[in-house]
Amino acid sequence: MRVCALLSGGKDSNYALYKAIVEGAEVACIVVVHPAREDSWMFHSINTWVAGLQAKAMGFGDRVYNVEVSGVKEREVEELEVELARIKRDTGFDTIVVGALASTYQRSRFERVASRVGAKIYAPNWGLDPVDYMRSLVKEGFKFIVTSITVMGLPWELLGKPIGLREVEYIVELSRRHGFNPAFEGGEAETLVYDAPHYRRTVCLRGRRLRVRDFEYKLVVSEAWLGDKGVECLDIT
What does DSSP say about strands 216-227 and 189-195: parallel, antiparallel, or unpaired?
Answer: unpaired
Contact indicator for 111, 119 with CB cutoff of 8 Å: no
How far is 158 from 138, CA to CA, in rounded Å?
Answer: 16
Residue 11 pLDDT: 98
What's this model's pTM, rounded to 2 decimal places? 0.96
d(CA 28, CA 60): 9
Please give the pLDDT value at position 214. Answer: 86
**Res 38: pLDDT:** 87
Alpha-carbon gap, residue 53 to 56, rounded angstroms: 5
User: Which secondary structure element, helix H or strand E, spans residue 159, and what is its range?
Assistant: none
Alpha carbons within 13 A on the beta-carbon side of 12: 26
User: pLDDT tens track of the chain, all 237 residues?
Assistant: 999 999 999 999 999 999 999 999 999 999 999 999 988 989 988 999 999 999 999 999 999 999 999 999 999 999 999 999 999 999 999 999 999 999 999 999 999 999 999 999 999 999 999 999 999 999 999 999 999 999 999 999 999 999 999 999 999 999 999 999 999 987 899 999 999 999 999 999 999 999 998 889 999 999 999 999 989 899 999
Backbone torsions φ then ψ of 103, nearest 5 degrees: -80, 105
Among 105, 143, 114, residue whose Cα is nearest residue 234:
143
Q: Mapping DSSP to helix (H, G, I), strand (E, B) and coil, where does residue 207 land?
A: strand
